[in-house]
Chain A
């Protein structure tokens, strides 16, 4: 079974530039998450999708961050314009939960963003 795929693995940009990250979850997983992990901290949820609908985006800085999952499969997270404090690893995770037992999250390798 293929895991969660993310790209790019690394990205360096200047502040005020834009960046986009892509995620392809495990096949059949209805729930997709984007987490931000700042160095030395635990992952912080940015947005959660159930199929192509948003379940929770309460911690997404909507003035600069956007995310979509148009066909209920892969997803894109965009930052525009980037700030220095956006430097972090952006983790995508998926879960097979669509109701019923709560399953674990399967994570991708992450996309490391450095904003200069």
Chain B
């Protein structure tokens, strides 16, 4: 069985602060993919990043960065210099390579105040 845990239910920061969203997962699969999605107030989930289980190289894309550590089953997401437009619910998801089934965490609601 797959499980994704996002322990932080809500986070509130002031604009320009850095913020890290935590994600811990469980799976028996040896190969799998991890994702982060953003759900703004409008409601539509938008893909942010994908990482496969073979690639533990951390990635930076603009103000976003991701830290994947297989040894601790974590895939954390950091926003540097947060902006009000970053306010949204962020979901971490785990996808089995075999069946293609995606399991989502319950999300972290990020509020960035001006």
Which chain A residues have a beta carbon within 8 Å of chain B's beta carbons?
31, 33, 35, 40-45, 48, 50, 55-56, 89, 91, 93, 95, 97, 102-110
Number of A-B contacts (CB under 8 A): 61
Does residue B52 face the partner (Cβ distance < 8 Å to A)? yes
B103 neighbours in A (Cβ, 8 Å): 45
Tell me the dominant secondary structure on chain A's binding face.
Answer: strand
* Chain B residues positioned under 8 Å from A105 (CB to CB): 35, 37, 45, 47, 102
Nearest Cβ on chain B to A96's Cβ, whole angstroms: 11
Q: Which of A33, A43, A50 has most B Cβ within 10 Å?
A: A43
Question: Which residue of chain A has the shortest Cβ distance to B48 in the bound complex?
Answer: A104
Cα(A110)–Cα(B42), bound, Å? 10
Q: Known: A42-B91, A42-B107. Is A102-B97 also a contact (CB below 8 A)?
A: yes
B85 close to chain A: CB less than 8 A = no
Q: Is A31 touching B100 in the complex (CB atoms < 8 A)?
A: yes
Q: Which residues of A contact B42 (CB under 8 A)?
A: 109
Hey, which chain B residues are within 8 Å of A106, CB to CB? 47
Q: Known contacts being A42-B91, A102-B33, A102-B95, is A107 close to B102, with CB within 8 Å?
A: no
- A11 to B52 alpha-carbon distance, docked (Å): 38
Q: Does B70 contact A (CB under 8 A)?
A: no
Taking a contact as CB atoms under 8 Å apart, the answer to whether B35 and A104 are in contact is yes
CB–CB B104/A102 < 8 A: no
New A-B contacts (20) at CB < 8 Å, excluding given A41-B107, A105-B45: A33-B102, A42-B93, A42-B105, A42-B106, A42-B107, A45-B102, A45-B103, A48-B101, A50-B100, A55-B100, A56-B101, A102-B95, A102-B97, A104-B35, A104-B47, A105-B35, A105-B47, A107-B37, A107-B45, A109-B42
